[in-house]
Structure 1
């Protein structure tokens, strides 16, 4: 998840009561697939959330699902790591305006060539953003989604997450920021909670969960199990 994907957030604090009201409007109950806690497992090692199956569904399908134009880009971290991301800036889910970012796994040689063909490079708070050629955009949009990050447009009380997801299997606190990561490996879910930012929910296939946890452990500490 890049800083670029999070800098747009400026909506003030809204209580969990309002959030619940948006999800449970009388006479107009939202489609259950619009809810971040509606997680299905088409197979033991896969996750379906928001109607998209990680490792199967593509950003092009996500664009149709969300009815919002996708913005694909490459990001290069200060360490030189390249990541292909697709950003949906304004998604309406269960009556809430939210943002969604999906990543796709591109072979190392292919993503290096995409970088070299990039049309424009812009600096961000977390590295560099590379604008892709039309052909490379098409490739990214047709590649299966490897992770999905949901950024709700309101602040959410921890009690709602406990009610909907249950007690996390593990909690890790980042050393630098103090952000808390609630981990649910059975659902491939990492909920990031911070006093200064809105929550962030990242979903990955359960078989890939260790790749998500390792950097957290390298830069944080376990506070409960």
Structure 2
């Protein structure tokens, strides 16, 4: 009886050990940082695990490990863009807001707008249109065409220059009502524009060729 009891106890311990191993989460690959940019064979870039012009929105969410919200935005000239936005993304220890511009055919965007809600005015002057569920599902297969990355902490000019090198060009904007100006740094090989805003924010815009 003692032998049988010891065998059963040993068997239970084996099962408990296997269950414990299965519950241990597999290690996640380290999240990439905004300056870890790779030029791909098609001359577009890959950043945050997203190959612009190639990676679809569903896969992009998996890479970012967070779900976004999609909407159509129309500017005062009625130009429409389809965007997926994330209020807070934490990658590589950096917290940021992020916007993905999705590549959607113009006729499809027009059809989406007809089904969408009446536009809600935004502080920027654009109108935000909420999409119906069917169109949200369609966007999962749409490729990401551009990424706007706005870190919660200000990235200095020295830090950007250290990470990306000297910009190809620098454009200085007109002063705002407080006399502050913004500055845009262009990195042509990386399809990257870095904007040092007049309010102190740093904005990184990655685009397709």
Q: CA deviation at 1:197?
A: 3.4
Name the counterpart of 2:188: 185
Q: CA deviation at 1:171?
A: 0.8
Name the counterpart of 1:47: 45
Deviations 1:4-50 (A, max 9, x none): xxxxxxxxxxxxxxxxxxxxxxxxxx93x521111112215110001
Q: CA deviation at 1:176?
A: 5.6
Q: CA deviation at 1:180?
A: 0.8
Name the counterpart of 1:78: 76
Deviations 1:100-158 (A, max 9, x none): 11001221111111111003421112221000011111122210000011111101211
Tell me if 1:37 matches 2:42: no
Deviations 1:160-212 (A, max 9, x none): 0010000100011223643111000100000000241310000012x2xxxxx
Any stretches of 5+ residues in structure 1 without a counterpart? 1-29, 208-225
Q: Distance in 2 between matches of 1:166 and 1:98?
A: 22
Name the counterpart of 2:174: 175
Moved over 2 A (4+): 174-178
SS at match of 1:34: coil
Name the counterpart of 1:216: none
More moved, 78-87 vs 113-122 = 113-122
Q: What RMSD, in angstroms, separates the aligned Cα atoms of the two structures?
A: 1.5
TM-score, structure 1 normalization: 0.74
Change (3 A) 1:44 1:142: closer
- Decide whether the 8 Å contact of 1:117 with 1:132 is kept in 2: yes
Q: Distance in 1 between matches of 2:102 and 2:185?
A: 23
Q: Which of residues 59, 62, 81 in structure 2 aligns to 1:61?
A: 59
Q: Distance in 1 between matches of 2:60 and 2:188?
A: 23
Higher relative contact order (CA 8 A, sep 6+): 1
* Structure 1 segment 144-159 matched on structure 2, within 5 A: 144-159=143-158
Q: Distance in 2 between matches of 1:179 and 1:59?
A: 31
The structure with the largest alpha-carbon Rg is 2
More moved, 71-80 vs 149-158 = 149-158
Q: Distance in 2 between matches of 1:48 and 1:124?
A: 30
The number of equivalent residue pairs is 176
Q: Distance in 2 between matches of 1:129 and 1:83?
A: 10
* Structure 1 segment 1-225 matched on structure 2, within 5 A: 31=30, 33-125=31-123, 126-175=125-174, 177=176, 178-205=181-208, 207=209
TM-score, structure 2 normalization: 0.80
